[in-house]
Structure 1
Amino acid sequence: MAQEQVLVTQPLSEGALLLCVAAVAFALVAFGFVVSGPAEVFAGLGRILMARDTLITDYMGLGGIGAALVNAGLLTLIVTFIYRASGATISGGAVACLMLVLGFALFGKNLINIWPIVLGVYVYARFKREPFAKHINTAFFGCALSPVVSEILFSTTLPLHLSLPLALGTGATMGFILAPAAAQLFNAHAGFSLYNMGFTAGIIGTLVVAIYKSYGFVAEPVFIWSTGHNLLLGSFIGVLFLAMIGGGLILDRAALTKLRSILRLDGRSPCDFIAIAGVAPTFVNMGVSGLLTTAYVIAIGGDLNGPVIGAIFSVVGFAAYGKHPRNFVPIMAGVFLASLSKPWGAADPSIVLAALFGTTLAPIAGRFGWGWGIVAGFVHSSTVLTVGALHGGLNLYNNGFAAGIVASVVAPVILAIQSRASTDATDEP
């Protein structure tokens, strides 16, 4: 599919866009206090902030539903303020980043552990004599490695006077090297995986874990996964997604018609739907994508909890920057079909997350068709179950790491096959 580059006028200012994100974050805070009450929320927040965050640490299981939602909402409100204060451009990429902060603050990012990494990116910007606003997306996407900070800081093997400076130094160092590494590693998959920072964080996390392991410091596995909240949480996020669709239609009654311009895009990064199609159809795409992915989880008998809702929010966020139903559904179908032929089920925790986060490979389906998208999803479902051991579960974007590997191999192979087919067709008499 050809990538359209016709810019349209935004009906919302960048400040208003930030207010929309802030409204979603505030909704999580308010709902968290309604569900759990202040005493339970603050007690749960204490458990969340002091925990090791190795994959998979469901904050809803660790601190309760209310505390997890409040952590996510408050952190996103703070980050939204930083975007505003920095003067950063609020594009589709920024919306995707903010929604990832919101989603991953349900199972790994919290009000304590992200800041050393952000500081490292800030120092890099100063080193390059560039405004922090230019690197702000890198800073907050790069918080994928925040479990490294928690793992060191709250390790039982080190006293606080050692763990605190070590956590700060390691986090800041990782932040400093994220930007140049991400720029280089993007070339490996050429934009066919939307989670470039997941690929980058996976490689950096692998190096960091290898260094620490060589000194005998090994992260212990964690698995906290809450169940039984589908009706409550499904109703809540369903209302949020319907509000996004409604907001898009209020801004522009023709938003559904204009959504077609998004559905024609292949989604290969960079692909800013807000710049290309406008805010209103982008909001509709975000809401529809959220409803579809939520329906998928419920249909296969999966659980709605911190990690799964975080994965759904990642799809919703990148529905402003590369994903739409026509290009991400084939990836999910590939993961589902793989579950029919392999010794695990579609509703298993890792496979539910693979189906949702694996939609980072949506540009493959968008560019090369549904068939190749299904192949990419099928391959991804196996890859993601293997690569986590490399970084010890300390890269929250494990699926992004796996998908970067898949895209780096699958996309060139597809291009080679298509090139040969094109040459053969040309050579025919």
Structure 2
Amino acid sequence: MGNVVKRKIFKTYYILIAYYVAFILFAFVVDTPYNIFNGLKAIILESDLLITDYIAIGGIGATFVNSALLSLMCIGILVYVGIKPNGSTIAALSTITGFAFFGKNILNVWPIFLGVWLYSKYQKEPFLNYVLIALFATTLSPTVTQFKYTSNFSQIGALLIGICFGVVIGFILPPITSYCLKLHQGYNLYNTGFAAGLLGTVLMSILRAFGIDFKTRLVWSTGNNLIFGILLIVFFSSMILIGYCLDKNSFKKFKELCRQSGRLISDFYIIYGDGAVFVNMGILGILSTLYILMVGGDLNGPTIGGIFTVAGFSGFGKHPKNTIPIVLGTALCSMLNIWKINSPQMVLSALFSTTLAPIAGQFGWLYGIIAGFIHVCIVANTGFLHGGLNLYNNGFAGGIVAIFLIPLITSFRKDDK
């Protein structure tokens, strides 16, 4: 009886493991083992600052293997500590999966994991209570390797300094993350990104005061829209099918799910079950992919990372009704500002701006459009503050937008809803 219950509890993990195994099989279909090995080595040794497209650095095969291996490692940690699948675990895993296409790799995350683990020991609490923060805290993983790309230190010295910084970041980020939730009141889904943006800004300010700075970076691959478009549509369509197989009422529950505001903490997995969440993930993943193709953007490491992040938070705050107004706001802004709608900045802003989906869900589509519009303007300027160390730059910008906008909305809106 116990084994049956365990299988039921962890079936979501089994499904995700199957997807990651499929990633690895796909990698070896499109590339050779030799190229994959050399590509992984290039991914590990390269700078990881925003924006570093691993597909351009290591190739398609190596990037998919990196994403699959890192995601499988994280599932192993979750299972080991005994955390059951829920909306937050799916969001964390999908974010890891996505950012393993640009910025996180199988080596640079571990010092931050160690730092969060040490913090749990310092608090005399089980690591179970902090494991999700550890997964999200890897947003600052570029810090671990970035010092070796300056002329201030030797290679060994830079690596040791980077590891120490990673451990310290992991140790101090959990309390900052908890406090930041109070600042934006749950209207910014990428809460750790906001906390990491603040920490990254403080860190870069200190480093710049001592003459250490990092060059801006834009590594962006093109020309893979056909293969990635087909792959993503098939991938997310299979999620819809799996959701229906898991729960025959999943579409009915999905409609009910879309009535939720999505404000933190909204765990759709616990409320509506795994079937409805997989349906939601599939629909949002397809819509995100189609948006990139429709505006003439590139499907590559960063945009695939954005698509997986949007889909992942389908279990933890996002659905079509509260994300579409935000994206419309970003599209409107891109038609009026100095950047093209299909430029790297704009397509990434459109995807990640959905961190503000609870604003549209709580206050309506008009405020969602306004939030998306302002977000684009803010996020274009926040990257400099943390020097590209915070991979969740849109989470940082989203926190600023929410802190600015929510008091105005609640003070001046006419209705009492």
Task: Compute the TM-score of the two structures, normalised by the length of structure 1.
Answer: 0.94
Quote the residue 2:249 is aligned against.
Answer: 254
User: What is the alpha-carbon distance in structure 1 between the residues aligned to residue 357 and residue 115 of structure 2?
Assistant: 31
Give CA-to-partner distance per residue, 1:293-320, whole Å, 9 cap, x none.
1000000000000000000000000001
Deviations 1:268-309 (A, max 9, x none): 010000111111011000000000010000000000000000
Mapped to 2, the partners of 1:188 and 1:266 lie a distance apart of: 18
One of 187, 209, 215 as aligned partner of 2:182: 187
Contact 1:330 1:370 in 2 (8 A): yes
What are the ranges of 5 or more consecutive residues in structure 2 without an aligned counterpart? Answer: none
Deviation at 1:161, TM superposition (A): 3.1
| CA–CA separation in structure 2 for the residues paired with 1:12 and 1:67 | 31
The 8 Å contact of residues 50 and 154 in structure 1, kept in 2 or not, is answered as no
Residues 11, 251 of structure 1: 8 Å contact kept = no
Structure-to-structure mapping, 1:230-241, within 5 angstroms: 230-241=225-236
Residues of 1 paired with 2:145 and 2:211: CA distance? 17
Say whether residues 1:212 and 2:207 are aligned partners. yes
Could you say which residue in structure 2 is the equivalent of 1:98?
Answer: 93
Does 2:339 match 1:367?
A: no
SS of 2:162's equivalent in the other structure is: helix
**Structure 1 segment 381-400 matched on structure 2, within 5 A:** 381-400=376-395
Greater CA deviation, 157-166 or 187-196? 157-166
SS in 1 for 2:315: coil
In structure 1, what is the equivalent of residue 329 of structure 2? 334
Query: Helix, strand or coil: the match of 1:60?
Result: helix
Sort the Cα spacing of 1:49 and 1:388 in 2 relative to 1 into closer, same or farther, 3 A. same
2:184 is aligned with 1:161: no
Residues 1:66 and 2:61 aligned together: yes
Please tell me the residue identity of whatever aligns with 2:213.
V
Q: After superposition, what is the alpha-carbon deviation per residue over 1:362-385, rounded to whole angstroms, capped at 9, x for unaligned?
A: 000000000000000000011000
Give secondary structure in 2 for the equivalent of 1:319.
helix
Q: Structure 1 residue runs of 4+, over 6 Å off?
A: none
Taking structure 1 as reference, are residues 47 and 167 closer, same or farther at Cα in structure 2, changes over 3 Å only?
A: same
Give deviations 1:333-362, integer Å, cap 9, x for gaps.
Answer: 000011111111110101100000000000
Identity %: 43
1:379 match: 374
- How many residue pairs match? The answer is 413
Distance 1:11 1:165 in 2: 41
Equivalences for 1:173-322 in 2 at 5 Å?
173-322=168-317
Q: Structure 2 length as normaliser, TM-score?
A: 0.97
Q: How far, CA to CA, are the matches of 2:394 and 2:96 in structure 1? A: 16
| Partner of residue 143, structure 1 | 138
Q: Name the amino acid aligned to 2:273.
A: G
RMSD: 1.5
- With 48-57 and 152-161 compared, the bigger mean Cα shift is at 152-161
CA distance in 1, matches of 2:281, 2:370: 25
Mark the runs of 5 or more structure 1 residues left unpaired by the alignment.
1-9
State the partner residue of 2:118: 123
Contact in 2 for aligned 1:51/1:154 (Cα 8 Å): no
Q: Distance in 2 between matches of 1:102 and 1:84?
A: 17
2:37 corresponds to 1:47: no
